[in-house]
Structure 1
Amino acid sequence: MPNDEAVVGSIARAARVLDVLVDMPEGAALADVVARTSFSKTTAHRVLAALQDVDYVVQDPEARTYRLGIRLGALARSAAAIDMAGIAYCGMRRLADVTGDTVFLSVPEGPSAVCVAREVGAYPIRTLTLDRGDRRPLGVGGGALALYCAMPASTRAAVNRANAAWLAEYGFDAERLERAKADFDRVGYAMNAGGVVAAMSAVGLPVVTAGGRLAAALAVGAINERMEQARLEQVILPALREETARLAARLSVREPEADT
């Protein structure tokens, strides 16, 4: 077995090769990797072959150039989700404790909303309609609907075109989602009243940073009986608005400053 120093050295060499490929997204020849890393041709080829073995790098069969693989992109998305979940954890825990219900954190990815974290409150009947990693079309569910409603009209139209068949699987369509958007504009929150699971409802708010980036959505889910209007307005929405604002502020601090 390789010793620890050899393993660390291998990781460092792989990182240097990956950095080259990041800078050359159109594809890098072996000679490019050699020139930019100062590795020998043998070392560069060995590192590239090892990265190909785990699908972090792919080689164009005709041009013989190397590019980053899809699997590496999936790891990057996973790392971003973990980071988001970590930043949101304390606020989600407070929200679950205050409401006693289930709190979901979702992020937009293309035409999808992906659940990246879930916190469960103390109420014995739990709303576990989404688990971490679950994916739904934008607009289907409290958090997914909050994300949808925070998007501009052109983006919503494109999402609806891309998701037409997927939405139909849930009994949704563009017209229904646009009605929900009109409700969102009127009341200030997204409400999924039993639209996915008949006995369960969820209310969601988008998390928008100071720079205007739609980063995520927080949603509280519960059985329908716990979503009656008085409790919604007196307990759930004040806590949800507070934690959404806190999360937006935390994410805004982490945004790069705009060029001046």
Structure 2
Amino acid sequence: MNTEAPVGSIARAQCVLSALARQPLGASLTEIMAQTEFTKTTTHRVLASLQEVNYAYQDPDTRKYHLGSALAALSRIANRSDLAALAKRSMTRIAQASGDTVFLSAPEGAVSICVRRELGAFPIRTLTLDAGNRVPLGVGASGQALYAVTPKAKRMAAAQANVAWMAEYNYTPDSAEALAEDFQTRGYALNPSIPVPGMSAVALPIQTSSGRLCAAIGIGAINERMTKTRIEDELIPLLREEVTLLSKKFSVLEQEGLF
């Protein structure tokens, strides 16, 4: 079927991008034409437009076309948006029940990215992170939770790459490892007023049934509200209940190829 005539420019671009996505080692102009059924002129024009915005690029050696870095960045943003939307109800329930600030962070290489923040009703709020903020993996309670369940070799490599950046938050690779060991003992991440004095937080990682690390969810509050009794009798059970629900939700979507 020749789809060229009724298809608009955005849809033509989508057809070419889909063709590239099916060819992880790159696709030649002829291969893209065969998959899209576009003419050579149309295919050239669409590829030129995609290259202008870094959604595609051409290998100068093989002359094959590949998906570009800007598209990968958009994909990561879309994934974080999905995480934030999927976790919204859980975070709202935790914030309403605890009265404190709830954070959701996602891992990206050596970085922990806050993808959503939900405020509770308690008047003194913990605003150490907001959506979009990036910190080194291992920093903050949610970052510590992500770090602790990342394979040791991978997380230590991340910490070594972030030595100077971590120091800005009063962390070191050694302290990150110590906190990872503390996570294994406690069963949850505890950030004891690092790097903000007077504020503490706890967090748990969220993983699918296959073991994929999706995010970490945490609660932050002033130290007076973060007693050991309250943490273990109230806050951690709240987090565990919602982590269980989110893990099941993410697992189903992963199995269906939607996440």
Q: What TM-score does the superposition give when structure 2 sets the normalisation length?
A: 0.91
Farther-moved stretch of structure 1 (191-200 vs 136-145) = 191-200
In 1, the alpha carbon distance for the partners of 2:208 and 2:65 equals 36
**Equivalence for 1:127:** 126
Cα deviations across residues 137-165 of structure 1 (Å, max 9, x unaligned)?
11100100001111222222222222222
Structure 1's 225 and 8: CA in aligned 2 closer, same or farther, altered over 3 A? farther
Structure 1's 241 and 19: CA in aligned 2 closer, same or farther, altered over 3 A? same
Secondary structure at the aligned position of 1:198 is classed as coil
Farther-moved stretch of structure 1 (182-191 vs 22-31) = 22-31
**Equivalence for 2:153:** 154
- What amino acid is the match of 2:189? A
Q: CA deviation at 1:7?
A: 9.9
Structure 1's 152 and 53: CA in aligned 2 closer, same or farther, altered over 3 A? closer
**Equivalence for 1:12:** 11
In 2, the alpha carbon distance for the partners of 1:32 and 1:125 equals 60
Q: Are residue 35 (structure 1) and residue 15 (structure 2) matched? A: no
In 1, the alpha carbon distance for the partners of 2:245 and 2:63 equals 49
Structure 1's 246 and 32: CA in aligned 2 closer, same or farther, altered over 3 A? same
Q: CA deviation at 1:99?
A: 0.7
Q: CA deviation at 1:226?
A: 1.3
- What amino acid is the match of 1:19? S
Number of residues of Structure 1 aligned to a counterpart in Structure 2: 253
Cα deviations across residues 89-125 of structure 1 (Å, max 9, x unaligned)?
1000000001111101111111111111111111111
In 2, the alpha carbon distance for the partners of 1:33 and 1:152 equals 39
- What amino acid is the match of 2:113? V
Q: CA deviation at 1:257?
A: 7.4
Q: CA deviation at 1:53?
A: 2.4
- What amino acid is the match of 1:104? F
In 2, the alpha carbon distance for the partners of 1:198 and 1:254 equals 39
In 2, the alpha carbon distance for the partners of 1:140 and 1:127 equals 15
Aligned runs of 1:197-236 on 2, under 5 Å?
A: 197-236=196-235
In 2, the alpha carbon distance for the partners of 1:45 and 1:257 equals 34
Structure 1's 72 and 188: CA in aligned 2 closer, same or farther, altered over 3 A? same
CA contact (8 A) 2:163 2:172 kept: yes
Q: CA deviation at 1:33?
A: 1.7
Q: CA deviation at 1:199?
A: 2.3
In 1, the alpha carbon distance for the partners of 2:174 and 2:46 equals 52
Q: Are residue 250 (structure 1) and residue 240 (structure 2) matched? A: no
Q: CA deviation at 1:66?
A: 2.0
CA contact (8 A) 2:110 2:155 kept: no
In 2, the alpha carbon distance for the partners of 1:112 and 1:58 equals 26
Structure 1's 9 and 257: CA in aligned 2 closer, same or farther, altered over 3 A? closer
**Equivalence for 2:191:** 192
In 1, the alpha carbon distance for the partners of 2:159 and 2:199 equals 24
In 2, the alpha carbon distance for the partners of 1:150 and 1:36 equals 42
**Equivalence for 1:3:** none
In 1, the alpha carbon distance for the partners of 2:59 and 2:232 equals 57
Secondary structure at the aligned position of 2:236 is classed as helix
Secondary structure at the aligned position of 1:217 is classed as strand
Aligned runs of 1:164-183 on 2, under 5 Å?
A: 164-183=163-182
Aligned runs of 1:50-61 on 2, under 5 Å?
A: 50-61=49-60
In 1, the alpha carbon distance for the partners of 2:195 and 2:242 equals 25
- What amino acid is the match of 1:39? F
In 2, the alpha carbon distance for the partners of 1:219 and 1:32 equals 48
Q: CA deviation at 1:64?
A: 3.6
In 2, the alpha carbon distance for the partners of 1:45 and 1:163 equals 42
- What amino acid is the match of 1:149? A
Cα deviations across residues 37-96 of structure 1 (Å, max 9, x unaligned)?
111111101111121222211233454432211110111111111111111110000000
Deviation above 6 Å: which 4+ runs of structure 1?
Answer: none
**Equivalence for 1:68:** 67
Q: CA deviation at 1:27?
A: 2.7
RMSD of aligned Cα (Å): 1.9
Gaps of 5+ in 1: 1-5
